[in-house]
Structure 1
């Protein structure tokens, strides 16, 4: 091979390398100021709590200047269908979305798997991002995934149970087998409750269709039910309440929307705030922040939420200070 040919090949290789850097998918900071990013939002299922996270995401993005014609948002709802999650995640990849957000653990897992370490994925309301394998650690996620985690204040929930049903001995805890966050919270609550002296009974559903049968069994065996932050249980909350009401069994859930659906009381972390912070983080990543070193933000502050109508229906007298706290700093459903 003569020197001229070698030189020509070297020039071509150098040109292609530069062309790849310039024409390949660039970092956000290299794009011109008029560039309109595409953001995909994948939500597991329609439910008030998850809808609030979605609403918060849009508001958070707006604070970073991504609103109106300055962003293209592709919102997809899988309606709790695993096949839909996979198809919708692939849709974002095919459309070269600059960034995706996953609302609930199954949605986030699907997005992360499809992105395969490439485009950024922002978590929105994931209970245990490290345990579910989405990040290496909360402080240093390590790859293309970061976001927000809504950690249930389980010790405070146990305190609510003690205040609402002080004479209860048998505690039923129900969760969905396919919901990592729900299982995580349910098992942690079981440990806390056993240490506190409760006789704990665990119940599971595979889908919302199982709720009626499982709830009927549970209501006949326990004094009070704890419903963790679990998408399947939340979606079937009204079915659960219809069953437990027949046996006069109070349900203490994890979030405000579940109290509205018939739970008695809880300390609820704002789902809107979880989404809002995820939206802010997404905006920062679009501007060039590195997901690998962008710590997961855990939202833990909660407010007292009570359902006076439900308490009256079950013949429960809620402590005066609990009612006052809900009226002044939280929320009361009447």
Structure 2
């Protein structure tokens, strides 16, 4: 994972913790916040996003089994698995969900309009019909984009 993505993941984790701190009373044992992670498929970049999220939480003092309860699920590129995971997260009343990759975020967003959903490994939230605008998402979905600076890349290629 390059340094820009690492920073984006770390900033997402910080934003997520701010959201978790403000969540309602859907808590696990000992007042642990329940956080679900729904990942489309095993892939080095998606796995790195997941690890960056967990590491970012830990760097801010949030550790699985202590003050949060992480439920990490991988759909193995199967849409029916995504649907099942999303429905379980809704039934379990997760306090927050990290959706890794566009299909995961779309499935989770269709399953819940109440649970805060943070996304990563998503290029354009508007095109994916996850938010009203990238600048002002509205609703319960937000996150980081993996959109590259296309104009700068073209300038570099031409130079």
Structure 1 length as normaliser, TM-score? 0.37
Secondary structure of the residue aligned to 2:41 is coil
Q: Choose the corresponding residue for 1:93, options 81, 90, 94.
A: 90
Alpha-carbon contact 2:26-2:94 (below 8 Å) kept: no
The answer for unaligned runs of 5 or more in structure 1 is: 1-26, 164-334
Deviations 1:214-235 (A, max 9, x none): xxxxxxxxxxxxxxxxxxxxxx
Assess, with a 3 A threshold, how the Cα gap between structure 1 residues 29 and 109 changes in structure 2: closer, same or farther.
Answer: closer
- What's the TM-score, normalizing by structure 2? 0.75
Deviation for aligned residue 1:154: 2.3
Greater relative contact order (Cα < 8 A, sep 6+): 2
Q: Which has the higher helix share?
A: 1
Partner residue, 1:51: 47
Which residue number corresponds to residue 78 of structure 2?
81
Rounded to whole Å, the distance in 1 between the matches of 2:133 and 2:152 is 25
Moved over 3 A (4+): 29-32, 155-163
What's the CA shift for 1:138? 2.0
**Matching residue within 134, 138, 142 for 2:134:** 138
d(CA) in 1 for partners of 2:63, 2:25: 20
What is the Cα deviation at residue 107 of structure 1?
Answer: 0.4
Q: Secondary structure at the match of 2:38?
A: strand
Q: What residue number does 1:235 align with? A: none
Displacement of 1:87: 0.8
Does residue 124 (structure 1) correspond to residue 120 (structure 2)? The answer is: yes
The alpha-carbon deviation at position 104 of structure 1 amounts to: 0.6
Q: Residue 62 of structure 1: CA displacement?
A: 2.0
Map 1:160-171; keep pairs closer than 5 Å. Answer: none
SS of aligned partner of 2:86? helix
In structure 2, the partner of 1:36 is: 32
Q: Aligned runs of 1:292-331 on 2, under 5 Å? A: none
Aligned to 2:11: none
Instruction: Give the Å deviation of 1:94.
Output: 1.5
Q: RMSD of aligned C-alpha atoms?
A: 2.2
Following superposition, the deviation at residue 97 of structure 1 comes to 1.0
Number of the residue aligned with 1:183: none
Q: CA deviation at 1:162?
A: 5.6
Taking structure 1 as reference, are residues 46 and 31 closer, same or farther at Cα in structure 2, changes over 3 Å only? Answer: closer
Quick one: structure 1 residues 162 and 108, their matched pair in 2 at CA, closer, same or farther if it must change by over 3 Å? same
Distance in structure 1 (CA, Å) of the matches to 2:87 and 2:67: 24
Give the structure with higher Rg (CA): 1
Gaps of 5+ in 2: 1-21
User: How far did 1:125 drift?
Assistant: 2.2
SS in 2 for 1:38: strand
